[in-house]
Structure 1
Amino acid sequence: MRIDVHAHYWTEDYLDLLVALGKTDTGTQRGMGAGGGEELEARLRLMDRAGVETQVLSASPQLPYGEDRDKAVAAARFVNDQYAELVAQRPDRFRAFAALPLPHVDAALEEAGRALGDLRMAGVTMTTTVLGRALVEPEFEPVFAELDRRGAVLFLHPAGNNACSPLIADHHLTWMVGAPIEDTISIMQLITHGIPVRYPDIRIINSHLGGALPMLLQRADNQYQWEAPETPGLPSEIARRMWYDTVGHGHVPALRAAIDSFGADRLLLGTDFPYESGDVFVRAIDYINDPKIDPAEAKAVLDQNAAGVLGIG
């Protein structure tokens, strides 16, 4: 079953709620083809053209994060209800990851219970930081504990905050460079803090082939004992407890590096729709069948792994 685990969906109504929550960058998501109505029908036609049976929708990076608790909760409930309604209308084509009203952990736990229980959503999505705070900060520990208790899927996506670096922000590198840097930092934080070891029942999916991690695993193995000695094992082994989507903009050498570093069984099809659309969307799937990729590995990545992680099939 061909499942795309990295696909976005935003309506104008939801984005307006985020503006009320203090977001200033929702223009990035408007008018891109990721909404309902005719945009949704066009998406389905593109999915058919590319042979994608199901997309797992997520609102990240535009998640209902904000210091105003009531507004964050209202936005989270709105988008989760909206997603659940769409999945109910088209269960043959869509699943969805739930959004949480962070940094309000008590409210996030309540909404996770509602979304994963009552709404039967496929998992939860978070960004790699929450309002600039690392996910491994102690305040977020109860979220990991609850997701582990439920054996939930957690899809992580960059926040688009330039990794809090003016060297990225001030030089027009937010998404070209900043996003995969965010992925890399977040994954290494999860590894050095032992999140996949301490919470083994969370099925963590990281974005964009793991950022730069395929190039850094041996370096991390060589250096973690003196720089991060509390890491509970080899970083390369802990990294293989998680999964990684294939959003690599059709770059076969990057895909090859991820397969060699993590194993083909740890990669899940992702397209990053609507940022990759039209012919680029089709290429996001087709490049996995490149001659440089073993056909058995390609088949696992395209048609087998995601169903197992998500419990679909």
Structure 2
Amino acid sequence: MKVIALEEHMFPRDILESAGLDLGRRGSTRLAQLDEVGEGRLQIMDDAGVDVQVLSAAVGNIVQDLPLSQATEVSRAINDRMADTVAAHPDRFTAFGTLPVADAAASVDELTRCVEELGLVGAMIHGQTHGVFLDDPTVRPILAAAARLDVPIYLHPAPPPSAVREAYYSGLSPNVTACLLGSGWGWHAECGMHVLRMVANGVFEELPDLKLVVGHMGEGLPFHLDRIEDMLTPVVTGHSLTVVETLRRNLYLTTSGYNSDAPLLCGLAAFGADHILFSVDHPFSDSKKATTHLLSAPVTEADREKIAHSNAEHLLKI
């Protein structure tokens, strides 16, 4: 069975160093693996049975938060490197682009270049940019470009603003704070809320063809779906679809970092097999563990094929 993994990160060390960037505590510990896109990565994929990785720039929020001209320059450099990596192993890699989100016009130009010139399959955006969510009208041209180009936006979590960090995560040890505001909880709650803001503020009403992908088995949304429909839909007025109908039309989930039955079955029940795609979250999660669960999960073989590769082939046109 073919396996395509959608949230597989890289970050070229030379671009990082030349731009004077810091990947932070979590990213820096994995820099050697993030920088490796040759035989070492291919061996990990082969050992796990991953046929294709969809590459993305790890911790892309550090690029989004750069001054505008530098964000554009660094995004272009990363995207050029992505394209070179894909060209070196076109049967094993494809990639999402990185965008200077604070500059909508530059982002539209760069997304168009990524898709039409470099052959990339969409873009990954990491949370807010300078405190701005993707439902903000200033970001709408980027989302409209993605819809026009028929490519998805992958919304990855990012650290919260300083005010949220202080209110929610202060008074704890540094290691606990770092975990709780990130992969231990906060990332997922904030990313799920980010998606709901997009629905509530009419992004998908205006752009019904926009495809949004989130990882980590839906960032908590599948578990809360009935409650969201009961509570949020009555106050989101004037839309053609309910909140949950919109989510089921426009949102896709990946399994990144989640390798147990209960979250997968919850995602399947909430969104259906056509909207769930396999991911590992390399190098932050174990590829072999992820594929082992994919092959053993209590789902039909038809659904397993959809999750493993056919949904990705359809969504990304690969």
Percentage identity across aligned positions? 26
1:256-279 deviation line (CA, Å, top 9, x unaligned)? 1001000011001111000013xx
Please state how far the C-alpha of 1:185 moved relative to its aligned partner. 0.8
- Output the aligned Cα RMSD: 2.1
Question: Aligned with 1:155: secondary structure?
Answer: strand
1:220-266 deviation line (CA, Å, top 9, x unaligned)? 11112443335542222111122110124312101110010000110
Matching residue's letter, 2:124: T
1:60-119 deviation line (CA, Å, top 9, x unaligned)? 432421352221111011101111111111101100111111201121112112211111
Question: Aligned with 1:13: secondary structure?
Answer: helix
**C-alpha distance 48-103 of structure 1, shift in aligned 2 (>3 A):** same
Whether contact under 8 Å (2:10, 2:55) holds in the other structure is: yes
Aligned length: 305
1:187-226 deviation line (CA, Å, top 9, x unaligned)? 2112222323422333221111111111111111111244
Question: Aligned with 2:125: secondary structure?
Answer: strand
Residue of structure 1 equivalent to 2:262: 253
CA distance in 2, matches of 1:286, 1:95: 23
Moved over 4 A (4+): none
Whether contact under 8 Å (1:192, 1:230) holds in the other structure is: no
**2:161 pairs with 1:166:** no
CA distance in 2, matches of 1:219, 1:35: 38
CA distance in 1, matches of 2:236, 2:145: 26
Please state how far the C-alpha of 1:162 moved relative to its aligned partner. 6.9
Residue of structure 2 equivalent to 1:215: 223
CA distance in 2, matches of 1:80, 1:159: 20
Whether contact under 8 Å (1:60, 1:157) holds in the other structure is: no
CA distance in 2, matches of 1:291, 1:148: 33
1:124-151 deviation line (CA, Å, top 9, x unaligned)? 1112221221110111011111111111
1:4-28 deviation line (CA, Å, top 9, x unaligned)? 01100012122235545xxx54343
Residue of structure 2 equivalent to 1:45: 43
**C-alpha distance 304-162 of structure 1, shift in aligned 2 (>3 A):** farther
**C-alpha distance 261-225 of structure 1, shift in aligned 2 (>3 A):** closer
Residue of structure 2 equivalent to 1:122: 121
Whether contact under 8 Å (1:99, 1:124) holds in the other structure is: yes
Q: Describe how 1:35-114 pairs up with structure 2 within 5 A.
A: 35-37=34-36, 40-63=38-61, 64-66=63-65, 68-114=67-113
**C-alpha distance 229-270 of structure 1, shift in aligned 2 (>3 A):** same
TM-score with structure 2 setting the length: 0.88
Matching residue's letter, 1:59: A
Match of 1:185 among 193, 203, 206: 193
**2:290 pairs with 1:284:** yes
Match of 1:269 among 274, 278, 288: 278
**C-alpha distance 40-160 of structure 1, shift in aligned 2 (>3 A):** farther
Matching residue's letter, 2:188: P
Residue of structure 2 equivalent to 1:302: 308
Unpaired segments ≥5 residues, structure 2: none
Whether contact under 8 Å (1:154, 1:205) holds in the other structure is: yes
CA distance in 1, matches of 2:246, 2:257: 22
Whether contact under 8 Å (1:152, 1:203) holds in the other structure is: yes
Q: Describe how 1:112-151 pairs up with structure 2 within 5 A.
A: 112-151=111-150
Matching residue's letter, 1:138: P
CA distance in 1, matches of 2:169, 2:140: 29
Matching residue's letter, 1:275: F
